[in-house]
Amino acid sequence: MNQPATNKPVASLRNLRRSFSQGGETIEVLRGIHLEIRPGEIVALLGPSGSGKSTMLQAIGLLEGGFEGVIEIAGVDASKLSGDARTTLRRDSLGFVYQFHHLLPDFNAVENVVLPQLVAGKTTAEARARAEELLTALGLGHRMEHRPSQLSGGEQQRVAVARALANRPALVLADEPTGNLDEATADRVLEEFLKLVRGQGSAALVATHNERLAFRMDRVLRLHEGMLE
Ligand code: ADP
Ligand code: MG
């Protein structure tokens, strides 16, 4: 475990609300979410398409405004931060995996995992060693120099997982990370992801509509009519 031995929640939501106006109509997507995620805890977020999973992850990811309520990351109230401080908090505490990999197409696998570490201030040698360690653990030791377009969907998602974990974030936010893969590949990639997350003591919040995958996690939350049940 590499995370500090603190019991402070890595994320805390109090009365989180979000609505969207569309064609003169207001849709209340999140209607008062309360949630605490503890260090090292792996939490599944279940809900059908359109239930607000991505909206909730975007709130915790500090990527968008428009939310009401309190969002704390690593004990810090995000609403009290400047844009720069929020970017730093996001960089230092959070990792992201999306349904589609969002890798940089002109960089190879190892470079995609090195880059966020350089941004976080690591040396090239450290970043490269860490990238190779992660990609090897994910079975991509023989694909380090391949660009995303030269990789299969499962391999692309493994690189995205390595990139998200590279800076050992306290919390990994994963939005249907295996939603674009066939069942067998999805199972394997999720298993490898969970193993690495547990191994380094990160917490994770994983949105999925797959119950079977959800029940491999420590806790299962369900989004229903804008609330957690
Ligand atoms: P999920 O990830 O569970 O499929 P989302 O969080 O993407 O659900 O979306 C929840 C609801 O919010 C949907 O009805 C969607 O249409 C609506 N929504 C999401 N983002 C926006 C937006 N930027 N503008 C308007 N409506 C949105
Ligand atoms: Mg979504």
Q: Lowest-confidence range among 4-13, 53-62, 115-124, 198-207?
A: 4-13
Say if CB 47 and CB 209 are below 8 A apart.
Answer: yes
Q: In the numeric block, which tokens belong to residue 209?
A: 């509509």
pLDDT at res. 1: 47
Nearest residue by C-alpha to atom 13 in ligand 1: 50
Helix (H, G, I), strand (E, B) or coil at 69: strand
Query: Could you tell me the end-to-end alpha-carbon distance of the chain, in angstroms, rounded to an integer?
Result: 30
Average pLDDT, stretch 154-159? 96
Q: Specify the pTM.
A: 0.94
Average pLDDT over every residue of 105-132: 97
Q: Does ligand 1 come within 6 angstroms of the Cβ of 163?
A: no
Across the range 143-148, mean pLDDT stands at: 97
Q: Does 84 have pLDDT greater than 70?
A: yes
Question: What percent of the chain stands above pLDDT 90?
Answer: 86
Substitution site in 55, 60, 64 for ligand 1 pocket (most atoms within 8 Å of beta carbon): 55
Ligand 1: residue of 26, 27, 29 to mutate (most ligand atoms within 8 A of CB) is 29
Beta carbon of 29 within 6 Å of any ligand 1 atom: yes
Q: Is the pLDDT assigned to residue 72 strictly greater than 70?
A: yes
- Which pLDDT does position 63 carry in this prediction? 86
Q: Does the beta carbon of 148 lie inside 6 Å of ligand 1?
A: no
Q: What's the rounded mean pLDDT across residues 89-98?
A: 94
Is residue 81 predicted with pLDDT exceeding 70? yes
What type of residue is 66? G
Tell me: the pLDDT tens digits for 166-176? 999 999 999 99
Encode 173-218 in three state secondary structure: EEECCCCCCCHHHHHHHHHHHHHHHHHHCCEEEEEECCHHHHCCCC
In a domain, 198, yes or no: yes
What is the C-alpha separation between 158 and 156, in angstroms, rounded? Answer: 5
Write down the pLDDT at residue 11: 97
Q: Is residue 213 part of a domain?
A: yes
Position 3 in a domain: no
For the chain, what is the largest distance between any 2 Cα atoms, rounded to a whole number of angstroms?
A: 54
Strands 94-97 and 171-175: parallel
- How much is the average pLDDT of 108-135? 97
Cα(46)–Cα(37) distance, rounded to whole angstroms?
15
Q: Flag whether 156 is in a domain.
A: yes
Q: Please check whether residue 12 lies inside any domain of the structure.
A: no
pLDDT at 22 (0 to 100): 87
Is the pLDDT at 58 greater than 90? The verdict is yes
Where in the sequence is the domain holding 200, given as residue range(s)? 41-65+82-223
78: which DSSP letter?
Answer: G
**Ligand 1 atom, smallest distance to 209 CA:** 3
CB atoms within 10 A of CB 39: 19
Q: Which CATH number belongs to the domain containing residue 135 in this structure?
A: 3.40.50.300
Tell whether 9 is covered by a domain. no
Q: Is residue 3 very low, low, confident or very high in pLDDT (cuts 50, 70, 90)?
A: low
Q: Would you say the CB of residue 50 lies under 6 angstroms from ligand 1? A: yes
Residue 229 lies in a domain: no
Q: Indicate whether 6 pLDDT > 80.
A: no
90 lines ligand 1 (CB under 6 A): no
The average confidence (pLDDT) of the chain is 94
Q: Is the pLDDT of residue 5 over 60?
A: no
State the closest ligand 1 atom to the C-alpha of 58, by its place in the atom list counted from 1: 6
- Per the structure, the count of domains in the chain is 1
Q: Residue 71 domain-assigned?
A: no
